Structure 1
Amino acid sequence: MRIGLIGVGMIGGSLLAAWRQAGLVTTASGYDIDARALAAAQALGLVDRGAATVADAVADAELVLVATPVGAMRGVFADLAPALPDSALLADVGSTKSGVIAEARAVLGKAFARFVPAHPIAGKELPGVEHADGGLFAGKRVVLTPTAETSADATAKVEALFARTGARVERMDAAEHDRIFAAVSHLPHLLSFALVAAIGSEPDGERRLGYGGAGFRDFTRIAASSPVMWRDICVANRAALGAELRNYRDLLDRLQQAVDGGDAAALQRTFELAARLRRSWANPSDER
């Protein structure tokens, strides 16, 4: 299969690596605004040809994969629409779906029927194609959010391609996707960024950070993720994320009252609920 990759980063590079391992790639063209990323992808053998423009990257593709930050996708869709071959499949890997779908619908024209929105639930906190990993998706979920206008044939083909990475592919309504991932992905990233920024901005912030142990390292691992990517995700999913953030602040207010009042029982109730839910999530068989 001839693949055109727009946005040569860790996720896009990992998908190319996985599809190469599965024997699916005949040639891969890539485009990225960062010439160094494109050169690195070629040096790693992930991309065969670096393209000077989006249109050039997709000109003879059978599959076009858009793996840019979500804030850049409307412009990418507009650039590729005139050059997209009539039979080419189109997919994205953005972490938000409703806004991406609206932007694709606005500019893709007839090609919108061949656009299959996708979100691989896998990743690393380290951005960049140099961290691409062909085994990244094995056993992980990939969520597709096709619309009523999406071709059933296109959806089935894209589903099969993601399955070849070893992923478990599911389908979901885009609005439901955005509500769920606001809670379990977008809010945790925002909180991780916020905690490190809050501590680091104190006069003795660097000294405090130097004493962080395993728990702090676990909680803040994702604060090393791409700021640009997560800026765009938070803005794109701001309605759902804002609702989750308000709910979280309400709980923090209650915990503040419990701490200030020395209410050990209230603290323990919250901690016990959280511990039970966390154990159930990590070891679902224990709760069956």
Structure 2
Amino acid sequence: MIERLCIVGVGLIGGSLARAARRAGLCRRVVGVDADAANLQRAQALGVVDRGCADVAEGAKDADVVLIAVPVQATEAVLAALKPVWNSRAVYTDAGSTKVNVLEAAERVFGSLPANFVPGHPIAGAERSGVDASHADLFRHKRVILTPAAETAPAAVQRVAELWRGAGAEVSEMEPLRHDQVLAATSHLPHVAAFALVDMLGREDETEAIFRYAAGGFRDFTRIASSDAAMWRDICLANREPILQRIEGLRDELGQVAALIASGDGDALLQLFQRAKAARQRFLDLYENNHHAQ
């Protein structure tokens, strides 16, 4: 049982973990820390947190477990604010979408990685943000990746894993750089592509006509372009090299498709589309099997 859970950043992710932990009886008391006073008041009114405060050190003092659920670019500042009250008996973790930069930030703040800091990433989200978007089932059947370093204490990893499992998530471990490379391909590149496509069409003269005649396929593909713009700016800057490599790969692939269309090579175009369709079906089959196995 966690006596005192501190959530730094009571938004979609932080608020949802607080709700899930409370519902599962994993903690006695939740303290929320948030720079947005209105959001913090809302969190208290909704019963997501028992107490709220604006000061990171004050909120985290005497906590058993601290979750840092802020935009990745703000993680270092939060770690620096936590440093004076860092407790060797507590466990600290984060929910950032990139991991190498978080480990580097911790090394800059502490000189070396604290054994009780467990970097993590819940692969769950929504287009809406803020505590009003949070709900206790957000992590149910979702994957949470923990990326401990060599210095990370196994007991700390276990405690964080138990918290996420208690919230309904499937927990796995991955090397930090590998995490950033995988997420660049499966999450970051699709978001960048969706933002770029909508921006391109949004700047065209006949925008209204284009959007008026857009069918379900356009809505499905571009849904993620409704995501939090500041958060995705931060992710792109934090995971710059892996994302740039994937953008180059997509640029090459689009070039090949353009060449096939230009040359009228219908057979090769069909083969490419069939390969892609089959690859997506493999993904769907794998997802369904994993989902039903839980």
Into which bin does the TM-score normalised by the smaller protein fall?
over 0.9
Shift of 1:251: 0.4
AA paired with 1:240? P
**Structure 1 residue identity aligned to 2:115:** A
Tell me the residue number matched to 1:62: 64
Partner of 2:234: 232
TM-score by length of 2: 0.94
Among 261, 286, 290, the residue aligned to 1:284: 286
Unaligned regions of 5+ residues in structure 2, if any?
290-294
Aligned length: 287
Per the TM alignment, residue 285 of structure 1 is displaced from its structure 2 partner at its CA by 9.0
Offset of residue 106 of structure 1:
1.6
TM (normalized to structure 1)? 0.95
Change (3 A) 1:262 1:110: closer
Aligned CA-pair RMSD: 1.6
Match of 1:115 in 2: 117
- 2:207 & 2:230 partners in 1: Cα distance? 24
Q: Give the distance between the partners of 1:110 and 1:58, measured in 2 at CA.
A: 21
User: Does the CA contact (< 8 Å) of 1:81 and 1:111 recur in 2?
Assistant: no
Q: Cα gap change, 1:286/1:193 in structure 2, threshold over 3 Å: closer, same or farther?
A: closer
Partner of 1:151: 153
Deviation at 1:142, TM superposition (A): 0.7
Asked whether the equivalents of residues 113 and 151 of structure 2 are also in contact (C-alpha less than 8 Å), the reply is: no
Matched, 1:15 2:17: yes
Partners of 2:103 and 2:113 within 8 A in 1: no
Question: Are the structure 2 counterparts of residues 110 and 187 from structure 1 closer, same or farther at C-alpha, using a change threshold of 3 Å?
Answer: closer
Q: How big is the shift at 1:122? A: 1.2
Asked if the contact 1:186–1:234 (Cα under 8 Å) also holds between the matched residues in 2, the reply is yes
> Displacement, 1:206?
2.9
Identity %: 45
Relative to 1, partners in 2 of residues 1:103 and 1:157: Cα closer, same or farther, differing over 3 Å?
A: same
CA-CA distance at 1:262 after TM superposition: 2.1
Segments ≥4 residues shifted beyond 4 Å: none
Instruction: Kindly indicate whether the alpha-carbon contact (under 8 Å) linking 1:9 and 1:132 is maintained by their aligned counterparts in 2.
Output: yes
Equivalent of 2:7, from 5, 13, 17? 5
Q: Cα–Cα, structure 1 residues 280 and 20, in superposed 2: closer, same or farther, change >3 Å?
A: same
Equivalent AA in structure 1 for residue 205 of structure 2:
P
User: Aligned to 1:283, what secondary structure does the other structure show?
Assistant: helix
Give the Å deviation of 1:57: 1.2
Inter-CA distance 45–286: structure 2 relative to 1 (3 Å threshold): closer
Query: Bigger CA drift: 200-209 or 162-171?
Result: 200-209
User: Aligned pair in 2 of structure 1 residues 82, 206: CA closer, same or farther (>3 Å)?
Assistant: farther
